Amino acid sequence: MEIILRGVFFLTLLHSVLVNGQIYDVLKFGAKGNGITDDSKAFVTAWKAMCGSGGNSKTFLIPSNKTFLLQPLMFQGPCKSPSVQVKFDGKIVAPINKAAWSENKLFRWVSFKEIIGLTVTGSGTIHGRGSSFWKQLHFKSCNDLKISGITSFNSPRNHISISECKRVKITKIKLVAPHDSPNTDGIDISRSSDVDIYDTIIGTGDDCVAINNGSMNINITRMNCGPGHGISVGSLGRDGEESIVENVQVTNCTFFRTDNGARIKTWPNGKGYAKNILFQGLTFRETKNPIIIDQNYVDKGRLDVEESAVAISNVTFTDIRGTSQVDEIIKIDCSKVTYCKDIVLDKIDIATVDGNKPVVECSNVYGKSINANEANGCFKT
């Protein structure tokens, strides 16, 4: 009996040490945190222990003052707890050697999948080292997702990808990469709805936010964007794809030396629609292409025959001011198949850096301009 009791006491003590109540500290599961040792297995073990434990909310702790080297891995749900928090206060780094990624065919580094009520918060940093071309943080089918406080440096590709998620809040994050980084979007959104992004700083060399197919009810506000390619709806309709985007609001954001500002881009011969889009209260500082709708977006050459296009309608640009590095402050290049419809330019005040007269270029557009003198004569009626 004494041996049994001692065994029970030991197991209870061990559980307390490893878990510390509802906190699952990766160090207690064997992680070293020295930036050299591969800590992937310890992270997975801690996650499985936490995710498989029922009861009240659980916390997966990545402690401060430690650097954790991680191979590509996935945190899989669903979890037994109704809510899960990743307390991210340390630093994680990617492998430098590309060979370490050879078995990852999905081009993702750290993934979270099918976790309801997930919160990722803390003062930690993620360093992709820019050594390959994988997406840094990927969230798929994570409803009621919250991300706050974290910083991401030098992602090899997209910093944060949101796919097939509902009810997402992203706030007070910082995403950073060199201005000449290729294909390093800050936040990519696809097939997701009710996404709120606010009070963020993103300068990654590519789109600060890319709103892709299947995105609905997207709200972006109080973002500092740049350097990079601005905030984009699209690209949509590539290779004849049917794309749908609707109910997008981008408000009270500042763009600094971005190659584009507020942009909608679609490929020729696509299908579907992008509608009910608002760009309001934007400030541009030395931005190229401040306002642009491009329905002839192609990487290599143009198609000879356009038979279809993603239909663009009910798009408003209002209360927009600042400076442009180029003379062309507005370009609305729409499809001759579908045209752009119900486009509104209201209270546009953008000056060129060199003092030249601003230029507006429009084609195949139905809409109206209000207090935007440069755009007079731009629209069909």
Quick one: 365 exposed, middle or buried, by C-beta within 10 A (0-12, 13-18, 19+)? buried
Report which DSSP code applies to 79: -
Go through the domains of the chain in sequence order and give each one's CATH number: 22-191 (2.160.20.10), 207-298+307-380 (2.160.20.10)
Amino acid occupying residue 245:
V
177 phi and psi angles, rounded to 5 deg: -155, 160
What are the residue numbers of the active site? Answer: 229
* pLDDT at residue 157, rounded to an integer: 67
Query: Can you give the pLDDT of all 381 residues of the chain as single tens digits?
Result: 333 323 333 333 334 434 445 999 999 999 999 999 999 999 999 999 999 998 888 999 999 999 999 988 999 999 999 889 999 999 999 887 666 555 555 568 899 999 999 999 999 999 887 655 457 899 999 999 999 999 988 776 688 999 999 999 999 999 988 777 666 789 999 999 999 999 999 998 889 999 999 999 999 999 999 999 999 999 999 999 999 999 999 999 999 999 999 999 999 999 999 999 999 999 999 999 999 999 988 765 555 577 899 999 999 999 999 999 999 999 999 999 999 999 999 999 999 999 999 999 999 999 888 776 567 667 776
Residue 163 CA to residue 190 CA, distance in Å, equals 5
Contact 251, 220 (CB under 8 A): yes
Cα dist from 48 to 38, 60, 70, 74, 92, whole Å: 18, 10, 16, 11, 19
Residues with Cβ within 8 Å of residue 284, at least 6 apart in sequence? 255, 258, 261, 290, 320, 321, 322, 323, 324, 350
* pLDDT at residue 297, rounded to an integer: 86
Residue 364 CA to residue 337 CA, distance in Å, equals 9
* pLDDT at residue 29, rounded to an integer: 97
Among the residues of the chain, which ranges form H helices?
A: 2-19, 40-51
DSSP per-residue string spanning 138-178? EEES--SEEEES-EEE--SS-SEEEES-EEEEEES-EEE--
Residue 147 CA to residue 124 CA, distance in Å, equals 12
Q: Is the backbone of residue 122 left (phi > 0), alpha (psi -120 to 50) or beta?
A: left
